Amino acid sequence: MSESVLITGASQMLTLRGGPRRGNSLSNLGLVKDGAILVRDGKIVAVGPRAQMERRAEAKFADKFDLGGRVVLPGFVDSHTHLIHAASRAEEYELKIQGTSYEEIARKGGGILNSVKKLRAATKEALKRRAASALGEFAAHGTTTLEAKSGYGLDVASELKILDLHRELNQEQPLEIVSTFLGAHVVPPEFRGKAGGAEKYLDLLMEKLLPEVVVRDLAEYCDVFCERGAFTVGQSRKLLAKAKEHGLASRLHAEQLSRTGATQLAVEMGAASCDHLEHVNNADIRALAKSKTVATLLPGCDFHLGLKEYAPARKLIAAGAIVALATDYNPGTSPTMSMPMVLSLACDQLRMIPAEAIAAATINGAAALGRENAIGSLEAGKQADLAAYEVEDYREIPYYFGMNLCWMTMKRGEIVWIKD
Ligand SMILES: [Zn+2]
């Protein structure tokens, strides 16, 4: 016989029921006071006010789990991370503080290429240990699903090493990892400075690496860093189209440091998401609003780089785009595993209200990964992925910044982290 669990004691339960949100509905949390959740076999059987849940026959025989008056919400869905990398870039952090720009550091072989050098030299075991420890931090902050991109290998063996690790970690630890192939992160050193170097590298990606990724079923998405110094819109279109033929859906790094037109490409390709968006124009915003492509904002990146210009979140929301939030966890521009910190930045810098930020980090994050029917809200039939916070009011989650108030994280009905 399967075991059921009745979770009670939620002073506020944010259900986020009703699917991905646009415009005014972004702030609709589906809040239930004194809520309860009935879970069986890792899935939600029923959700609602405690009194109603307790009347159900199954609830009477279920194990009980009391949240002690805490606030419960769906586990965060972090739809943009660069999980696998070999080391921090603390040395560049110092240079940036002293005034060297991110692009200048990149031109001198720092930036992404610095991480590529370190990753190629690292053993698979060392990379795995580092990622496993990061995953523990993600769980401790209330994240239950995250996307992970390759892109620090940039040769056949190293990219496959990263994608293999996504699969291994997905099987060996409780958080769900959605794998993205980002071979087109930047042009690797051995192809740089040569005539047609970028094109030759793209050929390698399309002819050799992509088919291998597909045969081994190592990724669900293909992503491109479409940016000056990385790949053009034309090159991005070529690779994403090829990936699509192979069955990989598209996502894009778009308009981060400059406006390239990547957002229009994302919409044209029917991409699942289009991420960064600091430099979108009004036409880009209108195009996103009319599409199903999720506009994923990564304020941790601007914060860490000390930039003044954040993405125009208010304009995107007002226009009706599906806005999501993610950490962009990576060693160069956003070294954080904390979605609560990202919520604080979304509120303080993007001027989103706490309810909007929470919806953007849960149900809309799930939409960015094509999983809005399985995760991202507390509804019957979905996975029992949730997190409880040591606060009296959900608005305190972003209000207290730089602190971790997560008390317990549950993935598929199992407690994967709890504060002792
Ligand atoms: Zn990124």
Q: What is the pLDDT of residues 220-252, one digit of tens each?
A: 999 999 999 899 999 999 999 999 999 999 999
Helix axis angle, 339-348 relative to 354-361, nearest 10°?
Answer: 140
Cα(253) to centroid(ligand 1), Å: 6
79 alpha carbon – ligand 1 mean position (Å): 10
User: How high is the pLDDT of residue 420?
Assistant: 83
Sign for the pseudo-dihedral over CA of 391, 392, 396, 401: negative
Cα 334 to middle of ligand 1, angstroms: 9
Arithmetic mean of pLDDT over the chain: 96
The pairing of strands 76-78 and 63-74 is unpaired
Ligand 1: centre distance to CA 82 (Å): 6
The DSSP code for 329 is B
> How far, in Å, is the centroid of ligand 1 from the Cα of 118?
18
String of DSSP letters for 257-313: SS--SHHHHHHHTT-SEEEE-TT--HHHHHHHHHSS-EEEE-HHHHHHHT-S----H
CA of residue 13 to ligand 1 center, whole Å? 31
Give me the phi and psi of 145, to 5 degrees please.
Answer: -140, 135
pLDDT digits (tens, 9 = 90+) for 267-313: 999 999 999 999 999 999 999 999 999 999 999 999 999 999 999 99
The alpha carbon of 68 and the centre of ligand 1 are apart by a number of angstroms equal to 38
CA 274 / ligand 1 centre spacing (Å): 11
Centroid of ligand 1 to alpha carbon of 226 (angstroms): 11
Using only C-alpha atoms, the chain has a radius of gyration, in whole angstroms, of: 21
For ligand 1, the distance from its centroid to the CA atom of residue 248, given in whole angstroms, is: 18
DSSP 336-401: ---HHHHHHHHHHTS---HHHHHHHHTHHHHHHTT-TTTSSS--TTSB--EEEES-SSTTHHHHST
For the stretch 122-159, pLDDT in tens is 999 999 999 999 999 999 999 999 999 999 999 999 99
Residue (of 260, 337, 350, 356) closest to 303 by Cα position: 350
Q: In sequence order, which residues have a C-beta less than 8 Å from that of residue 193 and are 6 or more positions away?
A: none
| Spacing, Cα 276 to ligand 1 middle (Å) | 8
The 8-class DSSP code of residue 208 comes to I
Predicted local distance difference test score (pLDDT) of residue 104: 87
Average pLDDT over residues 190-200: 91
d(CA 74, ligand 1 centre) in Å: 24
**342/297 Cα distance (integer angstroms):** 10
CA of 290 to the centre of ligand 1 (A): 24
Residue 352: burial class (beta carbons within 10 Å; 0-12, 13-18, 19+):
buried
- Mean pLDDT (whole number) for 376-386: 98
Question: In this predicted structure, what is the pLDDT of residue 3?
Answer: 86
309-366 pLDDT, tens per residue?
999 999 999 999 999 999 999 999 999 999 999 999 999 999 999 999 999 999 999 9
* Whole-model pTM over 0.95: yes
Instruction: Please give the Cα distance from 297 to 345 (Å, whole number).
Output: 11
**Cα 38 to ligand 1 centre (Å):** 37
User: In the chain, how many H helices and how many E strands?
Assistant: 18, 15
CA of 224 to the centre of ligand 1 (A): 9
Ligand 1 centroid distance, CA of 5 (Å): 38
Distance 341 CA to ligand 1 centre (A): 17
Contact 365, 373 (CB under 8 A): no
Q: What is the pLDDT of residue 1?
A: 47
Distance CA 393, CA 270 (A): 38
22 Cα to the center of ligand 1, angstroms: 23
Q: What number is the average pLDDT over the span 81-98?
A: 94
25-38 pLDDT, tens digit per residue, is 999 999 999 999 99
- Return residues with CB closer than 5 A to ligand 1 (ion): 328
Ligand 1 midpoint to CA 245 (Å)? 24
> Closest by alpha carbon to 313, among 302, 327, 305, 324?
324
Å from CA of 211 to ligand 1 middle: 23
At a CB cut-off of 8 Å and minimum separation 6, what does 67 contact?
7, 8, 9, 10, 388, 407, 408
Residue 395 Cα to ligand 1 midpoint, Å, equals: 27
pLDDT at residue 109 in the model: 76
- Which of the residue ranges 47-51, 172-176, 195-199 would you say has the lowest mean pLDDT? 195-199
Q: Check whether 381 has a pLDDT greater than 50.
A: yes
Q: Is the pLDDT of residue 202 over 60?
A: yes
Q: Ligand 1 mean position to 73 CA, how many Å?
A: 26
Expressed in angstroms and rounded, the spacing between residue 29 Cα and the centre of ligand 1 is 28
